[in-house]
Structure 1
Amino acid sequence: MSVAKALTIAGSDSGGGAGIQADLKTFQERKVFGMSAITAVTAQNTLGVQGVYPLTEEAIATQIDSVVTDLRPDAIKTGMLFSSDIIRIVADKLRKYELKNVVVDPVMIAKGGQSLLQQEAIAALNDVLLPLSEVVTPNIPEAEIMTGYEITTMEQRKEAAKSLHSLGVKNVVIKGGHDKSQEEMVDLVYDGQFFHEIVHKRVDTKHTHGTGCTFAACIAAELAKGTTLLESVQLASDFVHAAIKDTLQIGSGHGPTNHWAYRKLT
C-alpha cells in the first residue's frame, strides 16, 4: 500500500493549537503520514506567546536531511521560519532534494500580536523561498507586509496576488478572514491567469488560533495525495470553516480550532 507523506517545517506550539502540532493533527485527519522538522520551540497558550527559542541551523538542517533521505515527502508545508538564515537553509534543502508541492504559510504575527518572523527575513522569504513553492497562503496583513500594498478591497487583493505571483510562486491564496467588511469570508486563489473565489459564511468567534497553519497543512496533505491545487484549496477552506464553526471553546484567549470537526461532516 502506498501512503502519502507530508513534512511540516515549522515551530512548535506548546499550547497545541498551531505550528507543528496543528499540522500533524491535520495530516492525520486527511489520512497522510506526517513528519516534522522543528525550527523553533515556543512557549505559548491561547493568551499569547511567552517565549520563542529558535533551534540551531545545524539542528534544522539535520532534521530535514534525516526525513528526506529515508521518508521522502510528497509535499512540504513551511510555517514559522523566524529568520533569514533559517529560510535559506530550508530553501537550500528544497533545491538539493528537488522537493515538490511546497506550501508556504508565511507565519509572521501570532494571534496575540507577537512577531514570529524577523523583519529582515521578509526579503528572504520573497526572494529565496517563493520561487521554489507551489503555493503561498498569506492572510491580508501578511500579504500587505510581503507586497508593501494596502489591501482594503478585493481589487487591491488581486493586485497583491499578482505581485506575489511575479516573485516566482506558482499559485497565490490570499485568505479573507481578516476582511470584516462583509458577512461572507472569501479566500482568493490566483494561478497566474485566473482568479477563483472560495466563499464561506463568516463565523463570529474568537477561537481561531491555528487556522492559518491548519489551512496550509490541509493543502499540503491534499497535494501529497495527488489532488489538484484548486481542489486542495477548496477542501482546506471547507476543513478550516468546519473547524471554526464547531468550536472547542477551550482556553481563556484565542482558543484553538477543532481539527476533527470536518470528519463529522463526511
Structure 2
Amino acid sequence: MTAIAVTIAGTDPTAGAGIQADLKTFSALGVYGATVMTALVAQNTTGVQGVHDVPAEFVRAQMRSVFTDLDVDAVKIGMLSRPETIRAVADGLAEFAARNIVLDPVMVAQSGDPLITPEAVATLRDTLLPMAMVITPNLPEAARLLDADPAGDEHAMLEQGRRLLDLGPEAVVIKGGHGTGAESVDLLVTQDEVVRLAAERIATRNTHGTGCTLSSAIAAGLATGAPLASAVRAAKDYLTAALAAADDLRIGHGQGPVHHFHALWPNLPGEKR
C-alpha cells in the first residue's frame, strides 16, 4: 500500500515553506502527498507581502475531496490564520476520523511576519490541540500558547512541554532552534517519557521552512507506520541533514530554504543548483 499524508496549510510561492515544503518533504521520504490549502500567502525569502485566506467552506470542500477518495495515513497541519478556518479543519478531522495528526502551530514566518490573527490563537489552543497526536511548537510559539515568556533553557522547555500536554495533545515536540549553544535541542514530551533530541547547530542563514519541514517529516514517518518516537528521531535527522546541505542551494536574496532533496540530487561542484 502507498503511504499517504495530507498537508493542511498555507502556500509559499517560492516553495521554501508551507504546502510546497511539505510536499517536497513527503516526496523525499517516500510518501505520497495531498494538500488542503488554507491561505494563499505572497511570501519569499525576504518576508511576507500578503495573505489571502481561503473561505472556510472551501477548506471543508477540499477536505471532503481528499478524505472521501484517499486513504490518508497521516495529517500535517500548518498555517491556520483565522478562527473560522480552524473550526472548519477541526470539523473535517472529526467527520473523517483523521489519524496521526501532527499540528505545527504556525504563528510567525521565519522573517518575523505574523501569520495568525490574535483571536485565532485561543481557538487553535482550545479546538485543535486536543485532537493532535503531536504538536511541534518552537520556543516563541510554545510561549504564546501558554501566555508565558519563551523558555531560556532545557529545564524551562521541559516545563512548558508538560504544560502544553495538559492542553490535550498526546505528545509535544518543543523545538530549540531559537535557542543558543553548540547544540540544537528538541524535547519529545509525553505522559510516559521525555526524549532529548540533540544535533549540532548548523551555521547557515538558509533556514526558511524548517518548522514546516520537521512537522511534515514526522507526518511522513507516521504515515509509513513508524512509532512516534522513531518518526520524530528520523525527522530530526532529516532536517539536520537538509540544513547542513542548505548552502549548496542559491535561492533568493534573503533566508533561503533548506535542501529537501539533499540525498537525491547529484552533487555537482561548480554548478548552480
Corresponding residue for 2:222?
223
Moved more, 254-263 or 39-48: 254-263
Q: Post-superposition shift, 1:209?
A: 0.2
Secondary structure of the residue aligned to 1:120 is helix
CA contact (8 A) 1:207 1:249 kept: no
Corresponding residue for 1:252?
253
CA 1:206–1:169 in structure 2 vs 1: closer, same or farther (change >3 Å)? Answer: same
d(CA) in 2 for partners of 1:214 and 1:131? 22
Identity of aligned residues (%): 45
Corresponding residue for 1:127?
126
Corresponding residue for 1:18?
17
Q: Post-superposition shift, 1:262?
A: 4.2
Corresponding residue for 1:233?
232
CA contact (8 A) 2:57 2:88 kept: no
Corresponding residue for 1:137?
136
Secondary structure of the residue aligned to 2:11 is strand
**Which whole-Å deviations, capped at 9, do the CAs of 1:139-158 have from their partners, x for residues lacking one?**
11111101122211211111
CA contact (8 A) 2:131 2:169 kept: yes
**Which whole-Å deviations, capped at 9, do the CAs of 1:32-61 have from their partners, x for residues lacking one?**
110000000011110001111001112111
Kindly provide the amino acid, as one letter, of the partner of residue 249 in structure 1: R
Q: Post-superposition shift, 1:72?
A: 2.6
Corresponding residue for 1:163?
163
Q: Post-superposition shift, 1:263?
A: 4.6
Corresponding residue for 1:49?
48
CA contact (8 A) 1:239 1:262 kept: no
d(CA) in 2 for partners of 1:26 and 1:83? 26
d(CA) in 2 for partners of 1:235 and 1:263? 17
Superposition pairs of residues 1-266 of structure 1, within 5 angstroms: 2-150=1-149, 151-180=151-180, 182-247=181-246, 248-263=249-264
Q: Post-superposition shift, 1:201?
A: 0.5
Q: How many residues align?
A: 263
Runs of at least 5 residues in structure 1 that lack an aligned partner in the other structure? none
d(CA) in 2 for partners of 1:122 and 1:260? 33
Kindly provide the amino acid, as one letter, of the partner of residue 160 in structure 2: A
d(CA) in 2 for partners of 1:215 and 1:105? 9
Name the TM-score, length of structure 1 as normaliser: 0.97
Secondary structure of the residue aligned to 1:72 is coil
Aligned structure 1 segments of 4 or more residues deviating by more than 3 angstroms? none
Q: Post-superposition shift, 1:193?
A: 2.3
